[in-house]
Amino acid sequence: MRIAKDELAKLVTLQEYDRVIDALLAVLADVPKQVAALQAESAAEKAALAEVKDRHTQLLLRRKEKELDLGKKEEEIKKHNIELNSVKTNEAFRAMQSQIDRCKGEASAIETEILVFMEESDAFLREEKEKSTALKAAEIRIAEKIKVLEGQKAESEGKLAAERAKRDAFAAAIPGELLGHYDNVRRRRGGVAMARLEGETCTVCRMNQPPQSKVNLAKGHEIVACESCQRILYPSELAAAKPA
């Protein structure tokens, strides 16, 4: 494809515009990822608190069961104490008395268990309070970070629109066929269409070029592509065209 020397310089400038635009796009693409990571952090804190609350609820249910057991045991003791009045023999009295003592022992054991549950419950309350405070702090911190990110996003979007407008205005001065070729190479080559020839080496893919490439480039009438990566070569002494 034929190309004038000033057009090659324009493509180099265009590449600079595209590099800035791509960097802004990368920043913008990264914002949702960072927001999602922060939201995951907040969700993890919430889940940790919910887990403690859930374990506490389980404990309270077990304590409730124990309190019901204790009530039953106390009823049993009361009933046996009444029965004690109506026993006829000493033997029956002693048997009833020993049953009452057994029930009292069991009631006391249940009471001890309930006390342990109460202490554990206090520990859970403290943990819930700590986790709840940590969650609130994390939520404030995360909301602030997200706000900053959204500010950066808006700023980058503004810059992107301005850079795109500049790029489009500049590209309007480049012949359509040449621009199409540049865009094609750029699309196929990871966003980089232009490659500086340094000595005999393509500075993007680092492959050596045949001597004829340098000669053709010096003539400056045709596009010279890198033999390896197919990018559009330009001589190292070529300065980018000044944008209008």
Residues that bind Zn ion (CB under 5 A): 195, 202, 204-205, 226, 228-229
- 112 versus 236: smaller Cβ distance to Zn ion: 236
Shortest Cβ distance from residue 191 to Zn ion (Å)? 14
Shortest Cβ distance from residue 227 to Zn ion (Å)? 8
Question: Which letter, b or e, does each residue of 4-42 get, where b requires 16 or more Cβ atoms within 10 Å of its Cβ?
Answer: eeebbbbbbbbbebbeebeebeebeeebeeebeebeeeb
- 156 versus 209: smaller Cβ distance to Zn ion: 209
Shortest Cβ distance from residue 212 to Zn ion (Å)? 15
- 38 versus 185: smaller Cβ distance to Zn ion: 185
Query: What does R_g of the chain's alpha carbons equal in angstroms?
Result: 41
Helices 176-188 and 5-86: crossing angle in degrees, nearest 10, is: 40
- 132 versus 230: smaller Cβ distance to Zn ion: 230
Do residues 221 and 6 make contact, with C-beta atoms less than 8 angstroms apart? no
Which DSSP string do the residues of 165-211 spell out, in sequence order?
A: HHHHHHHTTS-HHHHHHHHHHHHHTTT--EEEEETTEETTT--B--H
Shortest Cβ distance from residue 203 to Zn ion (Å)? 8
Shortest Cβ distance from residue 180 to Zn ion (Å)? 20
- 100 versus 195: smaller Cβ distance to Zn ion: 195
* Token pair in block for residue 132: 């709840």
| Signed CA dihedral, 92, 96, 101, 102: sign only | positive
